[in-house]
Amino acid sequence: MTPEYKTVPILDAARRAGVRIADGQAGRYEVKAFCPFCLGRTKNPHLYLNTEKNRFFCQRCGEHGNSVSLYAKIRGISNKEAFEELEKSNLQMFPQAAPKEPRQEYMAPLEQRHDVYYDLLALLSLSEHDFLDLLGRGLTLDAIEQNMYRSMPARVETRSELAQTLSRTHDLHGVPGFYRSENGDWRLSGNSGLLIPYCTAKGYIQGLQRRAEIGGKRCYVWVSSNPDKCRKDGSPLYPCGTRAHGWIHIKGNVHSTTASITEGALKGDTASCLSNGALYLCAPGVNAIKYLPSAIRSLSVERLLGEYDMDQIRQEQYSAALRRMQDTLKPLGIPYIQQMWNPAYNGIDDYKLHSRRLSLAA
């Protein structure tokens, strides 16, 4: 007789294990929490608890699994012991339900997204602050213009006007970053910051990232309008919105047989510019590699160079993520070589700029 398996609600298991849930998560199907495996190293919630699949994943350290394995890892016990503890607790256990139909999320076709984003960037300008920062990174005037960097306006009213202008000539449904207000007008999510396009090998803009300043520290976030995000009262924050995906940015000579892999489009743009157009594949994060194999297959690459930041290579959680990435790429049969350089220059863009300055001074 086939045993009846039971599921453990991920939120109940997480709370019993002492995982701290972020504020404002009520009603979400994917709940953000503070990762117990990264705890003390970050002030931001990077742990995602999927209440439909009862699984967890940390975007920072890559830890993942289900309700039972989360509880087991935190408690330092086996999965069997964890399940027995949870079953004996006051948690409400449910017979395992039949697999749900995957949630259908509409994403506008690439060409439609490109047209919207291209025209959005054409309506914007680049602030002096962002322009000088890009020059300081080593980007040339031509590169800054060709890459279409722009500055996102801080005023909500200005972003609303932009969305309204674009809605007159474009269908914004399914384009990440756009959503409808209570009166049905289109709106653009986000705040001030440098906008960075994520492009395909053919130059189509898949999505945009925004460089934000949070607590004096820079971070990169997608221009996104995830319909699952809710206000504290449970109402949707972005009605009719669309979440961004973890697209791979491709920059440089697309006919090259050697490609470097790094984190972040701006870093890859800069490194490529400082390397006379070397080919770069830029993942939005060290764990965000879902689309990396397909991006590599779209090219004629015969060798891959890993060029992640030196501090990431030295940190265990990032080292583990890099090993998982290499395992993901093994089926492609393409040699992967992890690059190392002087750790005084953490990022590959920093190191390339240092090398360029040395050559000019020689």
pLDDT for 39 equals 57
Average predicted confidence (pLDDT) for the chain: 89
Minimum mean pLDDT range among 19-33, 57-71, 163-177: 19-33
Average pLDDT of span 176-194? 95
Residue 85 inside a domain? The answer is yes
Q: Which residue has the higher pLDDT, 311 or 355?
A: 355
Average pLDDT of span 289-317? 91
pLDDT for 21 equals 86
pLDDT for 97 equals 42
Residue 78 inside a domain? The answer is yes
Here the contacts of 128-131 (C-beta below 8 Å, separation 24 or greater) are 130/194
pLDDT for 96 equals 42
Same domain, 83 and 116: no
pLDDT for 46 equals 83
The last residue of one of the domains, among 176, 207, 222, is 222
Residue 228 inside a domain? The answer is no
pLDDT for 296 equals 98
Two tokens, residue 242 = 């669309």
pLDDT for 149 equals 99
Same domain, 132 and 91: no
Same domain, 114 and 91: no
- Strand, helix or coil for residue 213: strand
Residue 352 inside a domain? The answer is yes
Same domain, 258 and 211: no
Same domain, 144 and 52: no
Residue 229 inside a domain? The answer is no
pLDDT for 8 equals 84
CATH number of the domain at 164, please: 3.90.980.10
Same domain, 120 and 84: no
Minimum mean pLDDT range among 42-56, 95-109, 200-214, 253-267: 95-109
Residue 235 inside a domain? The answer is no
Q: What digits encode the pLDDT tens for the residues 242-301?
A: 999 999 999 999 999 999 999 999 999 999 999 999 999 999 988 899 999 999 999 999
Two tokens, residue 67 = 């309700």
Short-list 245, 252, 302, 309, CA closest to 280: 252
pLDDT for 84 equals 84
Same domain, 166 and 85: no
CATH number of the domain at 27, please: 3.90.580.10
CB-CB contact of 282 with 249 (8 Å): yes
Give φ, ψ of 178 to 5 degrees: -110, 145
Q: Greatest CA span in the chain, whole angstroms?
A: 78
Two tokens, residue 162 = 């932009």
Query: How many domains does the chain contain in total?
Result: 3
Residue 240 inside a domain? The answer is no
Return the DSSP state at 21. B
Same domain, 116 and 88: no
Minimum mean pLDDT range among 34-48, 158-172, 218-232: 34-48
Same domain, 69 and 121: no
pLDDT for 90 equals 57
Minimum mean pLDDT range among 13-17, 165-169, 195-199: 13-17
Taking the C-alpha atoms of residue 204 and residue 114, their distance in angstroms, rounded to an integer, is 6
Average pLDDT of span 330-337? 96
pLDDT for 93 equals 45
Share of the chain above pLDDT 90, in %: 59
The last residue of one of the domains, among 95, 121, 147, is 95
pLDDT for 103 equals 55
Same domain, 280 and 326: yes
Q: How confident is the model at residue 215 (pLDDT cuts 50, 70, 90)?
A: confident
The last residue of one of the domains, among 67, 95, 123, is 95
Same domain, 337 and 265: yes
* Amino acid (one-letter) located at 26: A
Taking the C-alpha atoms of residue 68 and residue 301, their distance in angstroms, rounded to an integer, is 41
Q: How confident is the model at residue 317 (pLDDT cuts 50, 70, 90)?
A: confident
- Strand, helix or coil for residue 207: strand
Same domain, 117 and 206: yes
Residue 56 domain boundaries: 6-95
pLDDT at 118 over 90: yes
Short-list 201, 341, 345, CA closest to 280: 201
Contacts of 204 (CB under 8 A, 6+ apart): 110, 111, 113, 114
CA 190 to mean position of chain CA atoms: 15
Two tokens, residue 186 = 């289109």
Q: How confident is the model at residue 3 (pLDDT cuts 50, 70, 90)?
A: very low
- Strand, helix or coil for residue 180: strand
Share of the chain above pLDDT 70, in %: 91
CATH number of the domain at 332, please: 3.40.1360.10
Residue 328 inside a domain? The answer is yes
